[in-house]
Amino acid sequence: MTEPHPATPTIEAPVASRLSTLDRFLPLWIGAAMAVGLVLGRVIPDLNDSLERIKIDTVSLPIAIGLLAMMYPVLAKVRYRHISEELTDRRALVLSLLLNWVIGPALMFTLAWVFLSDLPELRTGLIIVGLARCIAMVLIWNDLASGSRELAAVLVAVNSLFQIVMYSVLGWFYLTVLPRWLGLDTQSLDVSVWDIAKSVLIFLGIPLLAGYLTRTIGERREGTEWYEQRFLPRIAPIALWGLLFTIVVLFALQGEQITSNPLDVARVAIPLLVYFALMWGGAFAAGVRMSFPYERNAAIAFTAAGNNFELAIAVSIAVFGVTSGQALAGTIGPLIEVPALIGLVYVSLWARRRWYPTG
């Protein structure tokens, strides 16, 4: 079982006093990054075009760089020797699959129709966000909440495989089949399995391979103690700097749309906040009821609550266009997810003290 991470933003004063400035004031830095991105998007008219000009697959190169920087240190911390132990816990895997691929999409579909029934483009975009299960930022939230890195890595890998196979199928079901059964408006989603596979291979495969090779070679040459006590603390800040950089770029890319359509942002934000709260809270409560240790429970809860925004945005742009309401809804997704999930990190740490007093 993973030990609590020493550089986690817990709310106990003695621990907080030992954190770096970056860790201790992370919510403040995230808010500042959002503000900087919005300002850049408004004051530099051609910034959007410049950032979009160079891409990795269908994602802007700056965003791709930020995502890879964000994921590499976290995946370098994973103790890959213990991965096989996580695969033997069938209860955790079954619960995670149920939350991610049955409950999550169904809940987002319901919320989209309840809150956005009169806005078909935003509604469709929100459903597309709900279908894309998280394979990137969830590693950051889980790490900050002292969740099990090994279990999170396994769940992310499983989600990636399911995403390749099921994303198009679920898109067809929730946008065409189910609405027709219910007598609602239908929509189509034409996205190939290969397009989704490329996204997974780039944004999970590259940092996963880099993290595995870094730990394997580092431990072989210098030993585990050197690797975990000296090397990992040196690269740890890269993840949070990558997160802040990604947030700045995301807000800069859509800053004009966001500030020009505040009512649309608010309309999409409400069901998203409800979604994050219900998914995380339901998953965590289920884990407590099933007597999962805190570290494993946190990993399951954050994996269930997060979404793969880079895939949702890429699909929305490719199918409906960069200026579409679907793309706007996809962009609003991470803008709400970032502050919501960082808030849930602190809720998770409070829950650890409340329900896991000896954890």
Higher pLDDT, 165 or 352: 352
Decide: helix, strand or coil at residue 284.
helix
- What digits encode the pLDDT tens for the residues 17-30? 444 566 667 778 87
Q: Residue 198 above 90 pLDDT?
A: no
Per the domain annotation, does 46 fall within a domain? yes
Q: Residue 39 above 90 pLDDT?
A: no
Which CATH number is 149's domain given? 1.20.1530.20
Per the domain annotation, does 13 fall within a domain? no
Task: Say how far apart CA 143 and CA 299 lie, in whole Å.
Answer: 9
Per the domain annotation, does 187 fall within a domain? no
pLDDT at residue 52, as a whole number: 65
Q: Within 10 A of 267 (CB to CB), how many other CB atoms are there?
A: 19
- What digits encode the pLDDT tens for the residues 236-294? 888 888 888 888 887 787 777 677 778 888 999 999 999 999 999 999 999 999 999 99
Share of the chain above pLDDT 70, in %: 84
pLDDT level of residue 301 (50, 70, 90 thresholds): very high
What are the backbone dihedrals phi and psi of residue 308, each rounded to the nearest 5 degrees, phi first?
-85, 80
Q: Which of 1-15, 94-108, 325-339 is modeled with the greatest confidence?
A: 94-108
Per the domain annotation, does 1 fall within a domain? no
Q: Residue 58 above 60 pLDDT?
A: yes
Beta strands in 131-246 (DSSP E): none
Contact 115, 273 (CB under 8 A): no
Q: Which residues constitute the domain of residue 347?
A: 41-166+195-353
Number of compact structural domains in the chain = 1
Per the domain annotation, does 178 fall within a domain? no
Residue 139 CA: distances (Å) to CA of 2, 62, 119, 122, 261: 14, 19, 33, 27, 31
The answer for 226, left when phi > 0, alpha when psi is -120 to 50, beta otherwise, is: alpha
Task: Say how far apart CA 133 and CA 312 lie, in whole Å.
Answer: 9
Q: Which of 59-63, 105-109, 309-313 is modeled with the greatest confidence?
A: 105-109
Q: Residue 78 above 50 pLDDT?
A: yes
Task: Say how far apart CA 148 and CA 135 lie, in whole Å.
Answer: 15
